Amino acid sequence: MIALSNEDILFLVNKWVSDLARENYINPVFNGYHNGQNGSYTKSPGFYTSIRFEKGDLDICIDHHDESDQFKVTILNDVVGEQLAWVNPTSLSKLKELLEMMKQPTSVLVKYINEQASR
């Protein structure tokens, strides 16, 4: 298996999230005030180490842990005002799997998240 640098890991995650946004599966929350939302990205040598976006009624934040390939994922359901259970820290491969699920309808995504929490 090839070891990736932190820069490579951040590049991959940013690309995956950008692709989802470009294909209109998710809505990024930008720095400052945008569409009635306050939010920000933390920029680090050209890459975002913290990414926030919305998928339907879900508000999702992905934070990269410095000097590792682990991430902290926070998923809030805005309708019920509760945080969904997600196992942290999250590996790069598990994050990729979660991001692939963003292409599914929100109800399917919530079911997937709940199934992962019960494992």
Structure tokens at 115: 């199934």
Alpha carbon distances (Å) from 6 to 15, 48, 66, 94: 14, 12, 8, 17
Q: Containing domain of residue 52, as a range?
A: 6-117
What does the pLDDT read at residue 115? 92
Tally of CA atoms within 13 A in the half-sphere of 96 that contains its CB: 9
Please report whether residue 105 resides in a domain.
yes
d(CA 2, CA 100): 22
d(CA 1, CA 9): 14
Number of structural domains found in the chain = 1
pLDDT in tens, 68-80: 778 999 999 888 8
Q: Is the pTM of this model over 0.95?
A: no
**What does pLDDT average to over the chain?**
82
Please report whether residue 1 resides in a domain.
no
Please report whether residue 113 resides in a domain.
yes
Q: Is the pLDDT of residue 43 over 70?
A: no
